[in-house]
């Protein structure tokens, strides 16, 4: 499972590629590139993955250019998070700790 720093690097790489390619092919203006770069610097200040992707979801509503970045990186994160929760719940179920398994599946317990 990727850690926070790896996801942060993925987001950074994808945003930079999006800005550079958008400028190169005239799909975004210089001003829009500057705004996206400012949003990127704000994203890099978050301290955990949930905050990072939560804020990215808000940015996507304002800047459609970020949608592709969000879908590419966040889908991997949420898929890994789901798989990890399922494996943890399975582990608790095998030892008859049903309350803990339920808490993991509901997202109430951290792993």
User: How confident is the model over 15-71, as pLDDT tens digits?
Assistant: 999 999 999 999 999 999 999 999 889 888 988 988 999 999 989 988 888 898 999
The answer, yes or no, to whether residue 91 has pLDDT greater than 70, is: yes
pLDDT tops 90 at residue 108: no
72 with 66: CB under 8 angstroms? no
Q: Give pLDDT tens digits for 92-107.
A: 999 998 888 888 888 8
Q: Are 69 and 57 in contact (CB under 8 A)?
A: no
pLDDT value, residue 104 = 87
What stretch of H or E contains 33? helix 30-43
Rounded CA separation 14/91 (Å): 35
- Domain coordinates in residue numbering, the chain: 4-106
């Amino acid at each position: 499972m990727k850690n926070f720093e790896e996801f942060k690097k993925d987001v950074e790489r994808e945003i930079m590629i999006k800005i550079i390619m958008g400028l190169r092919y005239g799909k975004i203006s210089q001003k829009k590139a500057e705004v996206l770069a400012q949003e990127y610097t704000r994203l890099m200040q978050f301290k955990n993955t949930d905050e990072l992707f939560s804020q990215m979801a808000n940015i996507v509503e304002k800047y459609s250019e970020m949608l592709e970045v969000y879908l590419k990186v966040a889908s991997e994160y949420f898929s890994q998070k789901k798989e990890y929760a399922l494996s943890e719940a399975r582990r608790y179920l095998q030892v008859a700790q049903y309350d803990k398994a339920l808490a993991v599946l509901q997202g109430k317990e951290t792993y």
